[in-house]
Structure 1
């Protein structure tokens, strides 16, 4: 009899804890941050799956459209004017940066360190208000000058 009187409260306590923990776990998942949107991908004629990364470096969609229109007019961009500086936009930009601003890398559409360094030279020497180091980091100064560029072209 004595073990029965101890068992019931322990079972009741276990059930109560289980409900509480389950409720806390459910509440925790409900409050979790939403997953990042999946990147778009394409499969070109060569069969390789490629991710289309968008890097606007702080530009609004309207500013990015200005850049895309400029790239279309002067640098062979043939993508849509959608306000998203993706791989094809950056390939066109890299053609400009190679010809005019010392970009040494591949025309791959990836705005990495060397692309950003050449962009910083354009923004500094082209009079768009960049005065920072040519360091390949798209920080606050680079982003502000890139906005000036996008608004002024």
Structure 2
């Protein structure tokens, strides 16, 4: 081996050994320290963003009309932003629970039972002629658009 190559190899090996030893030393020191405990920050429900936005085919303008209606009639206190999120659906579920046979939790999730209850209203007042099946298909979405149009005067 050439002297330069030998020197470089020796220096490289020494550097690797030093880095490894330093890394291990740092790791053992870190492992020896007790874990710091942190407290969770208090967060109000209004500070949390909606979990899911589900406009069921409505434009933001149409969804805003629905929000105006639930604000006026069902204690919706969220933004009139045309995004039917958790707060909007909770207000809808309160209405559906009182009038349209919704039996689930008021959790703001537009699931199958929420859609079934909505379909009952849509069938009676907004031209829905499909099954009460909890599936927000084309007919449900078209009738929901009619519902939104009837909500426009509340804005």
Instruction: Flag whether TM exceeds 0.5 (same fold).
Output: yes
Q: Which TM-score applies when normalising by structure 1?
A: 0.67
Tell me if structure 1 keeps the 8 A contact 2:50–2:85.
no
Q: Secondary structure at the match of 1:83?
A: coil
Q: 1:137 to 1:44 in 2, by over 3 A?
A: farther
Q: 1:52 is paired with a residue of what secondary structure?
A: coil
Rounded Cα–Cα distance in structure 2 between residues aligned with 1:131 and 1:70: 23
Larger radius of gyration: 2
1:104-143 equivalence runs, <5 A: 104-125=103-124, 127-143=125-141
Flag the 1:133–1:60 CA change in 2: closer, same or farther, 3 A. same
User: 1:57 — aligned with what?
Assistant: 56
Distance in 2, matches of 1:143 and 1:150, equals 10
Which residue is 1:93 aligned to?
92
Instruction: Describe the shift of the 1:140–1:68 C-alpha distance in structure 2 as closer, same or farther (beyond 3 A).
Output: same
Instruction: Give the alignment of 1:1-153 within 5 angstroms.
Output: 44-45=43-44, 52-125=51-124, 127-153=125-151
Give 1:45 shift. 3.8
| Alignment: residue pair count | 108
Cα RMSD after superposing both structures: 1.7
Q: Compare relative contact order (CA 8 Å, sep 6+) and give the higher one, 1 or 2.
A: 2
Match of 1:30 in 2: none
Q: Which segments of 5 or more consecutive residues in structure 1 lack a partner in the other structure?
A: 1-42
Provide the TM-score with structure 2 as the length reference. Answer: 0.66
